[in-house]
């Protein structure tokens, strides 16, 4: 179950990137579950990772390898998170990196491992290592869709976003993929995200762009309020277009930043539309707050309320649940009589109570939609913030109750 058709537009290959995906039976048969991504030498790579204290072994290794060498390969497995596995899990991930390094004749530090799936089970490294030659043989510049399918777990469809822009008379390509349907309240990025471009840019500027894009996209998502142990988001610039950005403030840099942000936002909202059991895509927008942080606090409180989320699943315009969530967000000196709440174009709450113009039928019309905007005006400042979320359905409970079976 998902919101919308999830159609994928034209995918633009990125020079300097090859991808492969195969079935290696890590957890399930007849399913793409091992992906290898080859990155051209001299590419620039930046990453952001989960803030969960129990981060997975591959996350720790990625952080270390990023600091110690230029990345040449990403090795991604699904079906097993290699989290909560202690030192044996770290050694298993390193052995997988070494297998890629030996085959591709690079240093193991030039290989970054990524894992997603069940937490607390030993990584079946023998299956991965034995499959490395096959996934290497499958590498192609055109394998974007297969790679996007190969990183999925409970997702029902792949998420790919791709665009082109003109800079200095040259076509620049930006293409990315992401996965994640549950255990999502990214405290950095998403469960797994990979975005590639053929522009040339140094690592400090690339890291800045990544942080900026993540802040506006993946860090504005919540499915269930849980931050994964394995969240990783990577941005790669191969430089193969021959166009270089060396001034973060000029017109060309701004055009690239805008295009990059659009790719991240498309991927992020794609995750919410395919959240576990989702039937609704919901935007919670909080305006007129004292600070961005205050607005974000209110938005997350509403977005993560089980009562609010179940009302959305039932298409029930139970506005009292939204009002109650705003009231318990912990905002000091909140003037409840100044607050307004809108469902789409329908004013629901004003002066601390139901608006005089509101009718149950008008609220029902908005709640029956697949995509819903909830707009909350705090009437105490100029700040604004938005969060994207999904409803809480029977299927969400079923998927997570049966996840290990």
Residue 165: CB atoms within 10 A of its CB come to: 18
Which of 44, 78, 190, 279 does the annotation list as catalytic? 190
Distances (CA, A) of 325 to 68, 300, 341: 46, 9, 12
Q: In 142-247, which ranges are E strands?
A: 159-167, 170-179, 192-197, 200-201, 221-222, 232-237, 244-245
**Annotation: binding site for substrate:** 153, 179, 190, 276, 400, 405
Residue 96 phi/psi, 5-degree rounding, is -65, -40
Nearest Cα residue to 143 out of 12, 7, 18: 18
Phi, psi of 300 (to 5 degrees): -70, -35
Q: Is 190 a catalytic residue?
A: yes
Rounded Cα distance between 116 and 230, Å, is: 7
**Which DSSP category does 140 fall into?**
B
CA distance 272 to 389: 6
- Assign 3-state DSSP to the chain and report helix, strand, coil percentages, each to 5: 35, 25, 40
Complete edge-to-edge strand list for the sheet that includes strand 73-80: 17-22, 34-39, 73-80, 111-118
Strands 44-49 and 232-237: antiparallel
CA distance 137 to 151: 18
Whole-number Cα distances in Å, 11 to 14, 116, 174, 192:
9, 24, 9, 19
Strands 244-245 and 221-222: unpaired
Please state the residue numbers annotated as binding site.
Answer: 153, 179, 190, 276, 400, 405
Active-site residue list: 190
């Amino acid at each position: 179950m998902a919101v919308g058709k999830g159609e994928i537009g034209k995918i633009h290959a990125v020079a300097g990137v090859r991808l492969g995906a195969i079935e290696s039976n890590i957890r399930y048969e007849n399913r793409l579950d091992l992906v290898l991504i080859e990155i051209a030498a001299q590419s620039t790579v930046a990453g952001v990772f989960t803030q969960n204290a129990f981060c997975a072994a591959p996350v720790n290794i990625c952080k270390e390898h990023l600091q110690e060498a230029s990345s040449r390969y990403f090795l991604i497995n699904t079906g097993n998170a290699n989290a909560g596995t202690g030192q044996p899990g770290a050694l298993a991930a390193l052995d997988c990196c070494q297998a890629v390094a030996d085959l591709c004749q690079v240093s193991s530090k030039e290989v970054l491992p990524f894992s997603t799936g069940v937490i607390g089970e030993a990584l079946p490294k023998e299956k991965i290592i034995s499959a490395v030659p096959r996934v290497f043989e499958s590498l192609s510049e055109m394998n974007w869709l297969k790679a996007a399918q190969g990183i999925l777990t409970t997702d029902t469809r792949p998420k790919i976003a791709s665009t082109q822009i003109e800079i200095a008379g040259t076509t620049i390509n930006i293409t990315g993929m992401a996965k994640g349907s549950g255990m999502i309240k990214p405290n950095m990025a998403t469960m797994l995200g990979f975005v590639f471009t053929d522009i040339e840019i140094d690592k400090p500027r690339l890291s800045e762009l990544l942080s900026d894009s993540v802040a506006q996209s993946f860090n504005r998502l919540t499915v269930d309020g849980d931050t994964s142990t394995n969240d990783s988001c990577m941005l790669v610039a191969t430089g193969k277009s021959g166009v270089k950005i060396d001034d973060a403030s000029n017109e060309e840099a701004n055009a690239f930043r805008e295009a990059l942000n659009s790719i991240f936002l498309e991927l992020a909202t794609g995750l919410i539309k395919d959240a576990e059991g989702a039937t609704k895509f919901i935007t919670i927008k909080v305006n007129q707050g004292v600070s961005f942080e205050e607005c974000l606090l209110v938005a997350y409180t509403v977005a993560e309320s089980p009562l609010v989320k179940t009302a959305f699943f039932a298409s029930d315009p139970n506005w009292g649940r939204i009002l109650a969530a705003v009231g318990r967000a912990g905002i000091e000196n909140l003037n409840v009589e100044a607050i307004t709440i809108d469902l789409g174009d329908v004013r629901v709450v004003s002066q601390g109570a139901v608006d005089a113009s509101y009718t149950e039928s008008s609220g029902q019309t908005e709640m029956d939609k697949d995509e819903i905007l909830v707009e909350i005006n705090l009437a105490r400042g100029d700040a604004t913030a938005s969060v994207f979320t999904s409803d809480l359905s029977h299927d969400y409970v079923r998927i997570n109750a049966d996840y290990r079976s």
